[in-house]
Amino acid sequence: MAAGSTYTPIATNTLGSNTATVTFNSFSGYTDLMLIVTGKISTGFALLRFNSDSGNNYSRTYLGGDGSSAYSSRNSNVSSNYISLDSTTVATAINQIMNYSNATTYKTVLARESATGQAQAQISLWRNTAAITQIDITAGSAGTLTAGSTFTLYGILAA
């Protein structure tokens, strides 16, 4: 069996001031990516988009718990995927961007999130076969990602 070291830190962006969008665009040569977000947002959700595509080419199915019950819902034909952040409490989101450089499949993201009062797991879809070359995390609802929030990208290479 082949063996090789991987799980490589690619870039980290810790916001020095409130910021509308965080972008990663230099991450070639891996099989999967992992994007870890810890932070806050002024309002609403953070939007996760690939290759600057803001068309209605995204969807997600998610499962969550709020301390009293479990729930599941979905969004279809929407213009982004979502990262659950909060305006008052630091939230964490771990996004596994699978097979991102493959040029024959739609792209999937497995995510685990914790925000105020809930824990959530979700699978997100980007209906495009293009390799992902740019990742944008944007504050929705014309808000901002809060200063001090951290965005870290890792690369994982398969043998």
Partner 1 sequence: MSLILGILAQSGGAAVAASSYESIATITGNTSGTITFTSIPQTYKHLQLRCILRTVNSSYTFLNYNIRVGNGSIDTGSNYTYHRLYGTGSGSGSSDGGANQSAGLLAATSTGSPDYYFAPTILDILDYSSTNKYKTMRSLGGYDLNGSGGVYFQSFLWMNNSGIDTMQFNVGGASPETVGASHFALYGIKGV
Interacting residue ranges for partner 1, rule: CB under 8 A? 1-9, 12, 31-32, 34, 36, 38, 59-64, 70-74, 76-77, 94, 96, 98-99, 102, 104-106, 108, 110, 112, 121-125, 127, 129, 150, 152, 154, 156-159
Judge whether 141 and 30 are in contact, CB under 8 Å.
no
| The pair of three-digit structure tokens given for residue 130, joined into one six-digit string | 């293009």
C-beta closer to partner 1: residue 147 or 157: 157
Judge whether 10 and 35 are in contact, CB under 8 Å.
no
C-beta closer to partner 1: residue 16 or 142: 16
C-beta closer to partner 1: residue 11 or 20: 11
C-beta closer to partner 1: residue 57 or 133: 57
Q: Containing H/E element for 11?
A: strand 8-14
* C-alpha span between 22 and 2 (Å, rounded): 36
* C-alpha span between 7 and 26 (Å, rounded): 16
Shortest spacing between CB 103 and partner 1, in angstroms: 9
Instruction: Name the pairing type of β-strands 135-139 and 8-14.
Output: unpaired
Q: What are the residues facing 49 on neighbouring strands?
A: 136
C-beta closer to partner 1: residue 76 or 89: 76
Shortest spacing between CB 65 and partner 1, in angstroms: 9
* C-alpha span between 48 and 68 (Å, rounded): 28
Shortest spacing between CB 43 and partner 1, in angstroms: 25
